[in-house]
Chains A and B, each alone.
Chain A
Amino acid sequence: MDVFGSLANGFQTALSLQNIYLCFIGCLWGTMVGVLPGIGPLAGITLLIPATFGLDATGAIIMLAGIYYGAMYGGSTTSILMNVPGESASVVTCIDGYQMTLKGRGGAALFISAWGSFVGGTLSIVGLMLLAPTLADFAMKFGPPEMFSVLLVAFVLLGSLGSGSFFRTMPMVFLGLLIGTIGMDPLTGSMRFTHNVTDLYDGIGLLPVAMGAMGVGEILIATEESLLRVIHKIKLRELLPTRDELRASWGPIFRGSGIGFMIGLMPGSAHVLSSFVSYMAEKRLARRPEEFGHGRIEGVAGPETANNAASGSAMIPFLSLGIPTGPAPAVMMIALLIHGITPGPLFISKHPDVFWGLIASMYLGNVMLIVLNLPFVGIFISLLRIPFRVLFSVILLICLVGTYSVNSSTFELAVLLFFGILGYFIRKMKYDMAPLILAMIIGPTMELSLRQALMRSDGSFSIFWESSITMTLIAASFLLLVWNIYRGIRPTKASWEKALEESK
Chain B
Amino acid sequence: MTKDRAASLLFLCAGIYGFYFSVQLPMGRWNEPGPGVFPFALSLLLLVSGAAWFIRGKRRVKEEGEGENADRYAFIKNLATPLKIVGLTALLILAFNSVGYLAAASLYIFVLLFWVSRYRVVVSILLALSIGIGSWYFFEKVLAVQLPRGVLFL
Interface residue ranges, A against B (CB under 8 Å):
50-51, 53-54, 167, 170-171, 174-175, 177-178, 181, 185, 187-188, 190, 192-193, 216, 219-221, 223-225, 227, 389-390, 392-394, 396-398, 400-401, 404-405, 408, 410, 413-414, 417, 420-421, 424-426, 428-431, 447, 450-451, 454-455, 457-460
Contact = CB atoms under 8 A, between A and B. Distances in A.
A393 B113 contact: yes
Contacts of A178: 14, 18, 39, 42-43, 46
Given A53-B143, A54-B144, A192-B25, A454 B96 contact: no
B35 A219 contact: no
B112 A393 contact: yes
Interface string B23-36: 00110011111111
B85 A188 contact: no
Nearest to B33: A451
30 contacts: A50-B139, A170-B45, A171-B7, A171-B50, A174-B49, A178-B39, A178-B42, A178-B46, A185-B35, A192-B36, A216-B89, A223-B82, A223-B85, A227-B116, A389-B113, A389-B116, A389-B118, A390-B127, A393-B108, A396-B112, A398-B135, A400-B93, A408-B146, A408-B148, A410-B97, A429-B10, A447-B38, A459-B30, A459-B31, A459-B32
Interface of B is mostly: helix
A171 B42 contact: no
B75 interface: yes
Nearest to A431: B7
Contact of A450 (B6, B25, B33): B33
Given A171-B50, A178-B18, A401 B113 contact: no
Contacts of A54: 143-144
A451 B97 CA distance: 42
Nearest to B97: A410
B89 A454 contact: no
Given A178-B18, A227-B116, A429-B3, A171 B33 contact: no
Nearest to B84: A223
Given A54-B143, A193-B39, A413-B96, A223 B14 contact: no
Contacts of A455: 31-33
B49 A170 contact: yes
A392 to B, nearest CB: 8
Given A389-B117, A396-B89, A458 B31 contact: yes
Closest 7 CB pairs of A and B: A459-B30, A459-B31, A389-B117, A185-B35, A171-B49, A220-B82, A405-B145
Contacts of A223: 81-82, 85, 116
Query: Which residue of A220, A393, A405 has the most chain B CB atoms within 10 A of its CB atom?
Result: A393
B34 A188 contact: yes
A244 to B, nearest CB: 47
A219 B85 contact: yes
Interface of A is mostly: helix
Contacts of A424: 82
Nearest to A51: B143
A224 B112 CA distance: 14
Given A404-B147, A455-B31, A394 B93 contact: no
Interface in B101-154: 101, 105, 108-109, 112-113, 116-119, 127, 131, 135, 139, 143-148
A426 B7 CA distance: 7
A356 B129 CA distance: 43
Contacts of A175: 11, 14, 46
Nearest to B21: A193
B39 A181 contact: yes
B55 interface: no
A444 to B, nearest CB: 9
Residue among A54, A394, A404, A460 with the highest chain B CB neighbour number at 10 A = A404
B22 to A, nearest CB: 8
A217 B18 CA distance: 24
A111 B116 CA distance: 40
B134 to A, nearest CB: 9
Nearest to B86: A421
B61 to A, nearest CB: 15
Given A175-B11, A178-B14, A431-B7, A227 B33 contact: no
A459 B29 contact: yes
A389 B119 contact: yes
Contacts of B31: 454-455, 457-459
B43 to A, nearest CB: 7
Contacts of B92: 400
A200 B97 CA distance: 20
A174 B45 contact: yes
Contacts of B38: 177, 181, 447, 450-451
A449 to B, nearest CB: 11
